[in-house]
Amino acid sequence: MTYDFDRIVDRSGTASLKWDFRQERTGVADILPMWVADMDFAAPPEVVEAVKSRAAHGIYGYTGHPDSFFLAVRDWLNTEHNWEIEMDSVVVTPGVVPAINLAVQAFSQPQGKVIIQPPVYYPFMWALENNRRKVVFNPLIRENDSWRMDLEGFEKHARAGARMLILCSPHNPVGRVWNHGELSELSGICRRHDILVISDEIHADLAMPGHRHLPLETVAPDLKHDLVTCYAPSKTFNLAGLQISTVMIPSAEKRARFLAAMKTVGLGLSNPFGIAAAEAAYRHGQEWLRQLKTYIKANHDFLTGFCAQHIPWARPMPMEGTYLAWIDCSASGLDDDELTKRLRNKARVWLDEGPIFGPGGGGFQRMNLACPRVTLAEALERIKALPLF
Ligand SMILES: Cc1ncc(COP(=O)(O)O)c(C=O)c1O
């Protein structure tokens, strides 16, 4: 079956954060939203059917986690990522951001130093600030059009007392899919200095054709007892609103601490639609996902070609994974605030401005490419017409 990613689905009137709050959040009613990371594509048909069928039942009471759900997660990770998880290690949470906040509470101390590697998904910073931990920046290093981790810098911070890392793998927003060498060097440092890693692998399924995501647990089995991996079907199959994710915590002692943190806020059950959707996605979504990635890759090629021809001040970085393009706009000659203002108010395109991702984000804009090509083309036409000077 060929899936139609060109189809435009009108999302207005669904309380969509991306589409229905445009006026309220930007003051521009017809702005094209290409910021927050959800997709403008309908979920795979089997997922829609599973949700409809669950909805038709009519009773939506308290919902636990059936074995069939855990089996679907296990089989998916095994076939997609060659990762054999221990079923007991899985904890279900209503999102990766809540899971990261809980892990920060469970495994670090107030004022404890936690490393993040900016430019990076900004809720990492919020999780640390809101829980009163010390944010230790170990910025990525840019080399031409790529980015790498500063492993020497990382070890220095470890020596200076940091005891936790929040890793983004694949890395939002720079689009890197970390390779075996990088991950094993990183985990070696973690072992040497007793660093616990929260590995956010929410973009794992979105490694682009030609790239392969490596779960940290498979690269560094010896890190297993100091590893908390966050994973979810939400980015992969566009289920963010259903709020379902899994956290793999192989250490029984650490898992107990995480569950205790969940108890302090009364978490433990799930949304019945999330369970039904995730199970259907993991059981039936493989081909849909393959075609989705091909479509997104073609969107990135289209973006790159269009910029080269018509928007010379915008230079998209190669995107090894995620559906988020990281675009160097420093040649625009405008500072970040001014460029963002013009993109929103004049071009009427809503991107995420680089500085919100922390040090190293200046001069960049992040664009969500998970939309029909005509939407992307419209955004680019609007940006092309933007008066810069
Ligand atoms: C790296 C990363 N982690 C977590 C999330 C959000 O996770 P959730 O919606 O499950 O809280 C996102 C969403 O963009 C993300 O990019």
Span 7-32, pLDDT tens digits = 999 999 999 999 999 999 999 999 99
Provide residues with CB under 6 Å of ligand 1: 37, 95-97, 121, 168, 172, 200, 202, 232, 234, 240, 245
Q: Which of 35, 168, 172, 247 to mutate to test the pocket of ligand 1 (most atoms within 8 A of CB)?
A: 172
Share of the chain above pLDDT 70, in %: 100
User: From the alpha carbon of 232, which atom of ligand 1 is closest?
Assistant: 10
Can you give the pLDDT at residue 387?
Answer: 78
Average pLDDT over the chain, rounded to whole? 97
pLDDT tens digits, residue range 199-229? Answer: 999 999 999 999 999 999 999 999 999 999 9
Q: Which pLDDT score, from 0 to 100, does residue 388 have?
A: 75
pLDDT at 353 over 70: yes
Long-range CB pairs of 67-71 (<8 Å, 24+ gap) are 68/279, 69/275, 69/278, 69/279
pLDDT at 298 over 80: yes
CATH level 3 topology of 22-44+286-384: Aspartate Aminotransferase, domain 1 (3.90.1150)
The residue extents of the domains of the chain are 22-44+286-384, 60-284
Could you give the CA distance from residue 271 to residue 60 in angstroms, rounded to a whole number? 8
Distance 36 CA to ligand 1 centre (A): 10
* The pLDDT of residue 138 is above 70: yes
- Percentage of the chain surpassing pLDDT 90? 99
> Is 50 within 8 Å of 277 (Cβ atoms)?
yes
Q: What is the pLDDT of residue 228?
A: 98
pLDDT at 389: 60
Ligand 1 centre to CA of 386 (Å) is: 31
CA separation for the pair 293, 277 (Å, rounded): 20
Give the position, in ligand 1's atom list, of the atom nearest the Cα of 36.
14
Pocket test for ligand 1, best of 17, 120, 121, 177 (most atoms within 8 A of CB): 121
> How far away, in angstroms, is 121 Cα from ligand 1 center?
8
Specify the pLDDT at position 262. Answer: 98
Report yes or no: 213 and 204 within 8 Å, Cβ to Cβ.
yes
Ligand 1 centroid–CA 356 distance in Å is 15
345 Cα–ligand 1 center, Å: 27
> How do residues 70-88 score in pLDDT, each as one tens digit?
999 999 999 999 999 999 9
Cα–Cα nearest to 203, from 179, 226, 234: 234
pLDDT at 128 over 80: yes
**pLDDT at residue 203 in the model:** 98
Tokens of 195: 């660093």
Whether 22-44+286-384 and 60-284 share one fold: the answer is no
Between the CA of 39 and the centroid of ligand 1 the distance, in Å, is 13
pLDDT, tens digit, 9 for 90 and up, residues 186-201: 999 999 999 999 999 9
Chain centroid to Cα 246, Å, comes to 14
Report whether 247 contacts 229 (CB < 8 A).
yes
List pLDDT tens digits, range 235-270: 999 999 999 999 999 999 999 999 999 999 999 999
Residue 135's pLDDT band, with cuts at 50, 70 and 90, is very high
Fold entry, domain 60-284: Aspartate Aminotransferase; domain 2 (3.40.640)
Please state the atom number of ligand 1 nearest to the C-alpha of residue 120.
1
Is pLDDT above 80 for 357? yes
